[in-house]
Amino acid sequence: MEKIEHKFVEANGLKLHVAEIGSGSSPAVVFLHGFPEIWYSWRYQMIAVAEAGYRAIAPDYRGYGLSDPPPEPEKTEFLDLVADLLALLDALALSKVFLIAKDFGPLVVSLFSLLHQDRVLGFITIGVPFMPPRPPTYHRNLPEGFYMSRWKEPGRAEADFGRLDAKNVVRNVYIMFSKSEIPIAKEGQEIMDLVQPSDPLPSWFTEEDLATYGALYEKSGFRTALQVPYRSMGRQLDISDPKVEVPALLIMGEKDYVLKFPGIEDYIRSGTVKSFVPNLEITFMPEGTHFVQEQSPDEVNNLILNFLRSHN
């Protein structure tokens, strides 16, 4: 990790923290994290693409990690992250880039690719497919204790998370999200109660990794992270034909709990997603969980490099 450099870039009046490695003259690959992640979740991929001759760039979103918080976190929307990404590319003088994202990052990529397709060479999403900007419906078929419904409720997650320090919140979410079942609390139970103090970390996630995440979330808190994605999801944009023609790749773990969201697996396997992204390749990794890029970095790196080489 010592090869990765860090700097701050002014974007939309905020200083965004950016991790970077690779030659400035090389094709750029921008990595967008999810929750409870940060730039660090791309550590293996950044080094791999840099060694293959690309420039790897991984920002922390506004209000995440070392980036400045927005002035009004509760009003932050996905479109703010899209605008930040555009401002970041402009500040770095990058006319076109490859985008790689996971978790809710693919929702940022979906919007960015629809609004600024001329800036995108191609994109890879991990764990979540391209989604047109429409309100989600899967939560209607899930119990009240569905974690996203709980975290959408103002004050509920704050009280739940507030019983623990930031490191243990991240620990619990990593353990929950590494399983193949959707996190759903029972009546009278909170989401953090789904994990016990004795539950082990995933085998591929070290105490050192956890300490790194914990320190970054200790700094940022969860205020913006609860707003985006959980409390700002589902705004519908007036885009008549939400289709993106650039090359794309979806990497899904067969054991990723997201596949249990009502309608998601059918959306992918039926090919419906390709009506929005015609040039989409789809790869399923048999043992992959929601954090497949950290769980199986070599396999994911090979998929990424093959895609980049094919479309560079």
- Active-site residues: which are they? 103, 230, 290
Give the Cα separation of 42 and 19 in Å (integer): 10
Give me the sign of the Cα torsion angle 83, 88, 94, 96: negative
Contact between 33 and 42 (Cβ < 8 Å):
yes
Do 173 and 193 meet the contact criterion of CB atoms below 8 Å apart?
no
3-state helix, strand, coil in the chain (%, to 5): 40, 15, 40
- Listed residue (205, 175, 251, 257) closest to 43, CA to CA: 205
Residue among 199, 287, 221 nearest 66 (CA): 221
Give the Cα separation of 214 and 260 in Å (integer).
28
151 neighbors 226 (Cβ within 8 angstroms): yes
Tokens linked to 20: 């970077």
Residue 195 has, within 13 A of its CA and on its CB side, a CA count of 24
